Amino acid sequence: MVSKMHTLRNLALAAALTAALPAANAGLIYPITPSTRMVGEESVYKVAETGTTTMEYVAAHYKLGLSNMIEANPKVDPIVPRKGTQLVIPQRVILPDTPHEGIVVNSAEMRLFYYRGNDVEIFPIGIGQLGKGTPISWVTKVERKKAGPTWTPTAAMRAEYAAAGDPLPAVVPAGPDNPMGLYAMYVGKLFAIHGTNADFGIGLRVSHGCVRLRNEDNEVIWHEVPVGTRVQFTNQPIKHYVDPDGSIYIEVHQPLSRTSAEFDNVDENAPFSFTDSDLAFFKTPGIDHDILERALRERSGRPVLLNPAAF
């Protein structure tokens, strides 16, 4: 949804309007046990009555991506919300259905989860553009780390930028102008988790396939994660679980566009490809199917209780 709603021109405007972002020492950290499936709490942020507050500013302040904020606040201007607007801060999250080990990248919700023993740290990310996708089903590991990475654009990238009138050098040296930021973790042989030299792009499909973090988040995770750490890429736009107390939850995100037609069609939701797990979950006794259908339609990226108490 986010990729459909934003043009590069609007993103540049948002970056220009964004105030200096607050310093950060970590992602969102939550204690977990082996059986934990949902963490965090929602809150509300009121946009100031004076000055200019961008959605990107609020997203960065609360460790969220732009997509997370837009999904949770679909009727709000995604660039500059109206003064006085009450924004939902969607920090309540169902954990992806994966082992609680190492790094998990869920491309559909544009979040990175780092499992560190008895807690999980969550970071918002930017991922690959349509046709330059970030992996969506892959288990690998951190092969190496580099402080002060250089960037060597591929021949295809250089041709693309040259055609747009913005030619790239053969090698971009390390430093603040490097698109990879100041730190990089290389996963597998072809991909990296890295920072950025831009003021936007987290929660968007903007990279050439790598995982992009805000620089302050990237520096934190780069220092935390050792070489050899397990890394799993997954694509779970629908997450669900049944709590031991009987409560049934679902969290639905807009699935990633798979074609140019889906990418360009801003008036219709992209279709889901339901997994066997999804189909089995939909048959769970006690689900209110009116609420389920609304959750699948609205795709708010927020956990929804599917069996509220009847009064």
Q: What letter does residue 242 receive in the DSSP assignment?
A: E
Spatial separation of the C-alpha atoms in residues 60 and 200, rounded to whole Å: 10
Instruction: Decide if 194 is catalytic.
Output: yes
Cα Rg for the chain, rounded, in angstroms? 19
Q: What sign does the dihedral 275-277-283-286 (CA atoms) show? A: negative
Nearest to 240 by CA among 204, 200, 277: 277
Per annotation, catalytic residue among 208, 210, 240, 253: 210
β-pairing verdict for 127-128 and 119-124: unpaired
Question: Which element (helix H / strand E) includes 163?
Answer: helix 155-163
**Spatial CB neighbours of 297, under 8 Å, sequence gap ≥ 6:** 269
Amino acid identity of residue 240, one-letter, is H
β-pairing verdict for 102-106 and 230-234: parallel
Question: Which element (helix H / strand E) includes 295?
Answer: helix 289-298
Q: What letter does residue 151 receive in the DSSP assignment?
A: B
Q: Is residue 167 classed exposed, middle or buried when 0-12, 13-18 and 19+ CB atoms within 10 A define those classes?
A: exposed
Per annotation, catalytic residue among 194, 208, 240, 253: 194
> Which stretches does DSSP call E strand in the chain?
28-31, 38-39, 43-46, 86-89, 93-94, 102-106, 111-115, 119-124, 127-128, 138-147, 183-187, 191-194, 205-207, 211-212, 230-234, 238-242, 248-252, 304-305
Spatial separation of the C-alpha atoms in residues 192 and 186, rounded to whole Å: 4
List active site positions: 194, 210
